[in-house]
């Protein structure tokens, strides 16, 4: 799960940073403890340039090639960088949200088919 702790209240600081960005900045993202987070905001000009790049290149490549056009804004909330892809990530999430509980579905066995949500 990507960014399970991110809530609507986390968007306001991102937008405030974007509205106050210096001239020439075309990408902004939260930076928590040296880790680049999400959501990332991009100018339309940046989006147009990224879309025009070869298909095998993406936003990371554009950011690497345009470091002067990207500016992180300092943040401390782990919600901007908390991603859950592994059992270790689930354990870390449990620690962050304790005493709330986190349940995670058991992995499907190769012989199981996912059930339809409508049944």
Neighbour count for residue 42 (Cβ, 10 Å): 21
Neighbour count for residue 94 (Cβ, 10 Å): 15
Q: β-strands 70-75, 27-32: how paired?
A: parallel
Closest CA to 2 of 77, 83, 78: 83
* Residue pLDDT tens, the chain, 119 long: 588 889 999 999 999 999 999 999 999 999 999 999 999 999 999 999 999 989 898 899 999 999 999 999 999 999 999 888 888 888 888 888 888 887 777 766 666 555 655 54
The structure's pTM equals 0.73
């Amino acid at each position: 799960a990507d960014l399970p702790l991110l809530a609507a209240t986390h968007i306001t600081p991102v937008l405030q940073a974007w509205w106050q960005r210096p001239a020439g900045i075309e990408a902004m993202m939260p930076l928590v403890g040296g880790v680049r987070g999400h959501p990332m905001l991009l100018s339309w000009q940046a989006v147009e340039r990224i879309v025009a790049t070869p298909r095998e290149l993406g936003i990371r490549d554009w950011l690497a090639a345009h470091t002067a056009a990207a500016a992180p804004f300092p943040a401390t909330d782990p919600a901007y960088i908390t991603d859950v892809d592994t059992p270790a990530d689930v354990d870390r999430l449990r620690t962050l949200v304790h005493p709330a509980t986190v349940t995670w579905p058991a992995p499907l066995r190769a012989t199981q088919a996912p059930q339809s949500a409508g049944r």
